[in-house]
Amino acid sequence: MARKAFFAALLATLFTICGGLVATSPAEARADIYRYWTYFQVTDGEFVTSTKGVGATVPADGSIEAYRFAAPADFTKPNLPRADLGELTFDTICEHVDAADGKKRVAVIIDYGVPEDAEGGAEPPAPTAACAQADEKATGLQVLSAVAKTRAEEGLLCAIEGYPAAGCSVLVEQATPADPADPVEFELAGHEGDHHEDGGASTDASAEESDEGSNVPLLAAIGAVVLAIIVGGVLLSRRNKTAA
Amino acid sequence: MIRFHDVSVTYDGATTPVLAGVNLEVPEGELVLVMGSTGSGKSTLLRTINGLVPHFSGGTLRGKVEVDGRDTRTHRPRDLADVVGFVGQDPVAGFVTDNVEDELAYAMESLGVRAPVMRKRVEETLDLLGLADLRGRPLAHLSGGQQQRVAIGSVLTAHPRILVLDEPTSALDPLAAEDVLATLQRLVHDLGLTVVLAEHRLERVVQHADRIVWLPGAGAAPVDGVPAEVLAGTPIAPPVVELGRTAGWSPLPLTVRDARRRAGELRDRLAGAEPPAHRAATVGDPVASCRDLVAGYARRPVLRGLTLEVRAGEVVALMGRNGAGKSTLLKTVVGIHKPTSGRVDVAAAGLVPQVPSDILYAASVAAECASADRDAGAAPGTTRALLERLAPGVPDEQHPRDLSEGQKLTLALAVVLAARPKLLLLDEPTRGLDYTAKRRLVSILRELADDGHGIVLATHDVELVAEVASRVVVLADGEVVADGSAPDVVVSSPAFAPQVAKVMAPQPWLTARDVADALSVVEQRAPASVVETTPEER
Amino acid sequence: MGAPRVKRLRIRGTYYPRVLHPGAWWLWALGLAAAATRTTNPVPLVLIIAVTWFVVTARRGDTPWASSYGLFFRLALIVIAIHVFFQALLSSQAQGLAVLFTLPEIPLPDSTGIKLGGAVTLEAVLTAVYYGLQLATIFCCIGAANALGSARRLLRYVPGALYEIGIACVIALTFAPQLAADAARVRSAGRLRGSRRGLRAFGRLAMPILEGSLERSVDLAAAMDSRGYGRTTGESAAARRTTAALVLIGAFGLMVGVYGLLTAHSFGTPLLLAGAALGVAGLWLGGRRTGRTRYRPDPWALPEVLVAGSGVLVAAAMFWTADHSPALLTLASPTDVPPVPVLACVGILAGLLPAVLAPPYPVSSAAFEVAA
């Protein structure tokens, strides 16, 4: 009798769980929200979501490419870069970069999004715009990496300038709210005075180097530890061999 | 202990029963040898004892088999596991775990024996079978004899009262076989175990048997009795019994010791006779020569600087314990295995592998022959004609898998011969062959040698060597340790001497037939006793 | 004088040479592998590989599977090579501007979105190496687990109710190498017949190989049956059905729970807990019914706890870093100098502890005789 009662209880639990699963799943499934970099091209003064992956497009000389980090509630209507295309044109972005033979110039607009999307609600980096100069056959991704550090996985853009620090198109609970109508200010890279041959990348690189100066001793230490482990292991296996 | 009441077994799809009219009673503590040629139902008889037939194999069992009072019709093999320990032909195929101790414990775990009892029984069994040094060893690292002992141990731990073994020594070299048989002997004497075993190599087991059950085959009722009586009437008998028949001894001797005690008289009768030399009639050009051959694994050479020459017309027997390098030498000569250093010069060579079915691929004998013709570039019909010569009457439409071991070997031999090799290599050709098939093989090999083939056989079978070899090469640790005519090498060796040689020493006689021929010459009479019992093949 | 002094011997009971519970080794290795899944930074990855190798060197026995680490290590290298090769070949995934060399390009229709050949960039190759390295690290962890704790031995500890599944795994583990050996034997024998190459030859050889393995499985089944396999002591058909039902329900519960967790639904955790509870209850009840006993189970003592704990520590340090400073575990760009996640690295070094904490593998008596 006791066993039967236990069995019944077990089955009841099971059904409750199944019921819960059936009841909750449709609602939850519709609400699946991903946070990722949306890739746009500018045509006729408007942001248009790219139909191709960032590694599969070849932007034309003089075109504008744009990126926005957000978690749109509906992926067919992503949040757009909060830029005023009337002000932020190819000419304004690329005015300090001269055209060169065999190279193309592409304006790149990067919007890091709003604090609601950042890990822990932190303030994201300020939105920037830069002029990329790259090989004529360069893909969208290569154009982007001419002005910013990129992290990509199998053709999917995961991070720009190390933002976000980890993950690639992750599932989140909360969607980005609709953006206010007012555009925000975009910082124009390469406009502080210096003239850069290859866009803003070199400033980043030099800044990076001073940052990572402190990294080298640590790396050396790790290298020494790995070496010690290997030497120790070799000595150990020698000893074992002679012992056996 | 075991009772058969009018048992007959018919497999599904077969028209005639494999076994019929079996009425037997095996009392406790006996060692019973089941003998018979291939296909006579030996395995079937053994498998009825623990219920594998019919529960596992299918088919119909009529009559009743009672084991320790349990009827096998209502008890499945697993229900008999605590009474009957069954060890199959290939011990490796029956291993469930990977090390010795776990393998010994497996049956007890299945039977739900309590942990302390298990612990004690495993220790006892390790001691009983001399496996204590190997307890933690992976099963794959054991030698054939050790594996067979573990297989026996793994059923003994369940404390069965009956042990059933199907060809326990067929894959073992003579010394390992001795080892296993001595273990069995001890189990019978010390534990009072009832042992039922089937074996082709009668010369190894007859001396241990209390009783023989002979299955004449073709569904005839088994003959059952004391070894000396049963062997007097069977067409298959170990060499020492054949010698006894030749010399006209009665009762027949079963052991070398029995025979030796009476052999003085026989030796006197043969004093003037010259034993045959066992040399090749005509020796031709070299068909293979190896010089300073090193082969094997990078860090562990199996052959170490081996030098050997084989000439046309010779039958060379390669002997030596398991792992001495026999198979490696054959593979290197035929070109499957690349030597590390040294030279191999060889004419067209063909190898019949240890498992003949490895080179049989087709769905019927006819298709197999046709494809062998194509492979060898021979005229269509060549292989079939060869097969007809070697083994007449193998049906065309039969699947090679369903042939008997002897027929499989002959088919493989025909397939290899179709390519017209000058040198023929055979790896353990007598594994699983009964006496009749073995005799046929001997005559085939002699014929091929007379045709000018060079033949090399790697074998443990000392009686085959005595019959057919014109030269014996003993390998140990990858080197040649003895090389000479069969009588020279074999007679003095304790491990490789055939039974007749042991009986007749110091006179170098190798086979009962040699003795019979010599007697007929010496005493001017026809060797009647031999002709009666060993029909000529040709 | 007084009573004779009693000499007290201090015995370090847990540290005599013995075989560690395989579960401890697997937990340790899984901890390291879990840590590896959290990062593509080559620094901790290389460190993990070094740690696994060292511990295997220090604590493996003379068993046949002890050499499996080398096998897995070679597999890991192959994984990296394959990653790099495909990255180089499929330039649609090309990124970065530092062109190393240019391969001839084979244009494919645009719709495929794939280009073969083209420029190979440093960034692309480095990305491939790092991702390959992550997979390679996981391979090394599995190799270490295999070398240190036999998978077969581990299977002895599957719950009694899942015994059938366990034995099936054991047989599969035996069968694969045997099948490979069979195949090698038949193939070399096939060469004796002037064997053809290619698919036809394979078809021809498949026959004897399959036949051989079929025969072997029948033999094994017969041997297992003769040794009492599946003989459940005094159990009725109804009881067997109940056991099966309990196990099924348990498995189902676990599955639902894992699904919930993986899809990050809010109900994931409670479902997993409920499912796990069901599973444990089912397995426990089912296990009570089998009449099998276990021979010499490995003890789970302090060394086991420490070894498993060190693996958990590695994973914990890595997961904490992933939560608090993810930038240390993922490179912003493949050409960056990799940052050093100090805490995670210290955690990984804790994975070295089993090289000391685990009891040494006992030397088999045969090896001992050779040494002596």
**Structure confidence at residue B314 (pLDDT):** 92
Q: Report how far residue A144's alpha carbon sits from residue C10's, in angstroms, rounded to the nearest whole number.
A: 69
Higher-pLDDT residue of C230, A35: A35
Host domain of residue B521? 235-278+501-538
Contacts with A, C 257-296, CB within 8 Å: 260, 264-267, 271, 274-275, 278, 281-282
Nearest-neighbour CA in chain C from A181: distance (Å): 32
Is the same domain home to B316 and B445?
Answer: yes
Please give the model's pTM, rounded to 2 decimal places: 0.74
Angle, CA of B92, B97 and B103, to the nearest 5°: 85
- Token pair recorded at residue B76: 């499945």
Binning pLDDT at 50, 70 and 90, where does residue B524 land? Answer: low
Binning pLDDT at 50, 70 and 90, where does residue C197 land? Answer: low
Averaged pLDDT for residues C241-254: 74
What's the domain count of chain B? Answer: 3
The yes-or-no verdict on residue B453 having pLDDT over 70 is yes
Q: Report how far residue B180's alpha carbon sits from residue B143's, in angstroms, rounded to the nearest whole number.
A: 12
Higher-pLDDT residue of B59, B67: B67
The yes-or-no verdict on residue B490 having pLDDT over 90 is no
Averaged pLDDT for residues C78-96: 78
Cis ω before A164 (30° cut-off from 0):
yes
**Structure confidence at residue B538 (pLDDT):** 37
Is the same domain home to B407 and B449?
Answer: yes
Is the same domain home to B12 and B120?
Answer: yes
Residues of chain A with pLDDT under 50: 1-2, 22-29, 193-212
Tens digit of pLDDT for each residue in C317-329?
999 998 888 888 8
Residues listed for chain C: 372
Q: Which of C177, C287, C168, C178 is nearest to C229 (CA)?
A: C168
Residues A154 and A190: beta-carbon distance below 8 Å? no
The reply to whether B333 touches chain C by the CB within 8 Å rule is no
Tens digit of pLDDT for each residue in C127-175?
889 989 999 999 999 999 989 988 878 877 877 777 777 777 777 777 7
The yes-or-no verdict on residue B25 having pLDDT over 90 is yes
Among chain C residues, CA nearest to A133: C97
Is the same domain home to B96 and B190?
Answer: yes
Q: Please state the φ and ψ torsions of residue A214, each to the nearest 5 degrees.
A: -75, -10
Q: Please, what sign has the CA dihedral across residues C132, C134, C135, C138?
A: positive
Give chain B's mean pLDDT. 87
Is the same domain home to B36 and B164?
Answer: yes
Distances in Å between the Cα of B340 and the Cα atoms of B293, B294, B305, B409 are: 8, 5, 10, 31
**Structure confidence at residue A226 (pLDDT):** 93
Is the same domain home to B309 and B431?
Answer: yes
Averaged pLDDT for residues C46-74: 88
Distances in Å between the Cα of B183 and the Cα atoms of B124, B149, B179, B497 are: 14, 8, 6, 22
Chains C and A touch (3+ CB pairs under 8 A): yes
Is the same domain home to B6 and B100?
Answer: yes
The yes-or-no verdict on residue C234 having pLDDT over 70 is no
Amino acid at A72: P
Averaged pLDDT for residues B150-166: 93
Tens digit of pLDDT for each residue in B83-127?
999 998 888 888 888 789 989 999 998 888 899 999 999 999 999
Pairing of strands A128-135, A187-188: parallel
**Structure confidence at residue C352 (pLDDT):** 94
The yes-or-no verdict on residue B508 having pLDDT over 50 is yes
Amino acid at C273: L
Bridge partner list, B87: B165
Averaged pLDDT for residues B476-488: 89
**Structure confidence at residue B363 (pLDDT):** 82
**Structure confidence at residue A203 (pLDDT):** 41
The yes-or-no verdict on residue B50 having pLDDT over 80 is yes
Tens digit of pLDDT for each residue in C8-39?
555 455 567 888 899 999 999 999 999 999 89
Is the same domain home to B263 and B331?
Answer: no
Binning pLDDT at 50, 70 and 90, where does residue B151 land? Answer: very high
Is the same domain home to B225 and B252?
Answer: no
Is the same domain home to B84 and B211?
Answer: yes
Averaged pLDDT for residues B7-20: 87
Contacts of B538 (CB under 8 A, 6+ apart): B443
The yes-or-no verdict on residue B210 having pLDDT over 90 is yes
**Structure confidence at residue A204 (pLDDT):** 43
- Token pair recorded at residue A153: 């996985």
**Structure confidence at residue C2 (pLDDT):** 52
**CATH number for position B353:** 3.40.50.300
Averaged pLDDT for residues B10-34: 90
Contacts of C62 in chain A (CB under 8 A): 244
Contacts of A102 in chain C (CB under 8 A): none
Q: Among C63, C227, C294, whose Cβ lies nearest the Cβ of B115?
A: C294
Among chain C residues, CA nearest to A25: C265
Q: Please state the φ and ψ torsions of residue B380, each to the nearest 5 degrees.
A: -55, 140
Contacts of A52 in chain C (CB under 8 A): 113
Contacts with C, A 96-135, CB within 8 Å: 119, 134-135
**Structure confidence at residue C1 (pLDDT):** 47
Is the same domain home to B474 and B510?
Answer: no
Is the same domain home to B223 and B243?
Answer: no
DSSP characters over B418-462? TT--SEEEEESTTTT--HHHHHHHHHHHHHHHHTT-EEEEE-S-H
Averaged pLDDT for residues B14-23: 88
Contacts of C364 in chain B (CB under 8 A): 136-137
Higher-pLDDT residue of A122, B416: B416
**Structure confidence at residue C211 (pLDDT):** 78
Contacts of B200 (CB under 8 A, 6+ apart): B38, B167, B170, B432, B433, B434, B435
Binning pLDDT at 50, 70 and 90, where does residue C196 land? Answer: low
Chains B and A touch (3+ CB pairs under 8 A): no
